[in-house]
Amino acid sequence: MRHFAYLSAPETDALFETPPEPFHRDSGRDLLSVALGATLYMPATRPSLTADITKQAAAGVTSVVVCLEDSIADDEVAEGEANLVATLRDLHEQPQTEPPLLFVRVRRAAQIPALVARLGPAATVLDGFVMPKFTAASGTEYLHAIDDADRLAGTTLLAMPVIESGAVLYAETRVDELTRLRALLHRDRRRILAVRLGATDLCALYGLRRSPDLSIYDVKVVSSLISDVVNVLGRADGSGFTVTGPVWEYYGVERIFKPQLRASPFAEHNERELRGRLVGRAIDGLIREVSLDRANGLTGKTAIHPSHVAVVHALSVVTSEEHRDASDVLRADRAGGVLASGHRNKMNEIGPHTAWARRTMLRARAFGVAAEDVSFVDLLAASLPR
């Protein structure tokens, strides 16, 4: 797989100073967790699930979660399981088609080995499982279930726990719960690809739902948890995990407040019509939230609509200026001190900016480095259908 693989060679040459690297399941957890990008969730009951996965992969989706949990009704679980098994068998029998990274979100731990047993040889198509409502109490059962599935499949399946329980949200239990979660995840670090945040379930604990005019960071009871999750589980000292951004729920709604996208960048790149489309579908709110995700230590995002994927990926490309700054920091021939930015517009402090520089270079491998005069607007214009 490779991000932006749908672009032609001339388009790639024009847009990228350094194009994205190819990656695959064995690329290593650090690169793979960043390369997840926008992870598209699909209900397991979709009647055309095989075709939909194949179609979205061709359109640039690199990671998919087939959901057996909240996206389907309680009485549809058996139907969803059967459809999922049939879909993965179909994909296994189509070796000429490269599927995206594939994960299954289950309802309970026992489903994990049961599904792998039903898949038989087709389990090799599956990359891992998403474990919902993951807590220090329930997590051990989930991880043991994946151990059992490994033995059945003869492989190592990856895991993505979802932080979305009251135990971690409520103030009186948060610190203890996060501390216990960190210990549990470290014991199985080799298989933890990323930690996901279940913002919808977290909001539900207080009867809340953010509007398309607001970001999750405006919902203070949840944004304070995001800060604490990154604090405990997202450290840059080698002990942390990739923490992904929560879902953006909207894809075409009326709005109350003014749009959040400046007009001038789109005018400068002759893309006024593109801005109108983004604003009309409340995608400007998604753009703002993705920017806030990165500022708060989150990487990638849960997506529930294909139109969100191109936005997240375009915003994930490293700018030429970011890449030059990161390269300068990492190439510094001394410990500590300050360097003037090559663009003469900021300071690059070697000690404090080294961890940022390493993360930036990892993102550059996954999403590429934009050409000097190429902006997010150009990348999005090339990725979205007209």
Give the single-character DSSP code of 313.
Answer: H
Distance in angstroms (rounded) separating the CA atoms of residues 192 and 135: 14
- 128 shares a domain with 168: yes
- 281 shares a domain with 175: yes
Domain encompassing residue 290: 19-317
pLDDT, residue 276, reads 75
**3: helix, strand or coil:** coil
Tokens for 110, please give them. 């026992």
What are the E-state strand segments in 257-331? 301-303
- 346 shares a domain with 274: no
- 330 shares a domain with 183: no
> What's the domain count of the chain?
2
Taking the chain (386 residues) in runs of 10, the rounded mean pLDDT of each run is: 96 97 92 98 97 95 97 96 97 85 98 98 96 97 98 95 98 98 96 97 96 93 98 96 95 65 80 77 86 97 94 97 94 78 82 94 98 92 80
- Taking residue 129's Cβ as centre, other Cβ atoms within 10 Å add up to 26
Angle at 6 between CA 319 and CA 378, to 5 degrees: 35
Closest-CA residue to 104 (of 73, 126, 134): 126
pLDDT, residue 270, reads 81
Q: Has residue 55 been placed in a domain?
A: yes
Q: Has residue 290 been placed in a domain?
A: yes
Enumerate the β-bridge partners of residue 38.
301
Q: Has residue 5 been placed in a domain?
A: no
Closest-CA residue to 30 (of 245, 193, 189, 188): 193
Angle at 206 between CA 205 and CA 210, to 5 degrees: 105
DSSP for 53-74, please give it.
Answer: HHHHHHTT--EEEEESSTTS-G
- 125 shares a domain with 72: yes
* Residue labelled with tokens 């995001």: 226
Residue 210 sits in a domain of what CATH number?
3.20.20.60
Q: Has residue 379 been placed in a domain?
A: no
The answer to whether the pTM exceeds 0.85 is: yes
- 150 shares a domain with 89: yes
The residues near 115 (Cβ < 8 Å, ≥ 6 apart) are: 81, 84, 85, 104, 106, 149
Distance in angstroms (rounded) separating the CA atoms of residues 240 and 359: 12
Q: Has residue 129 been placed in a domain?
A: yes
- 188 shares a domain with 59: yes
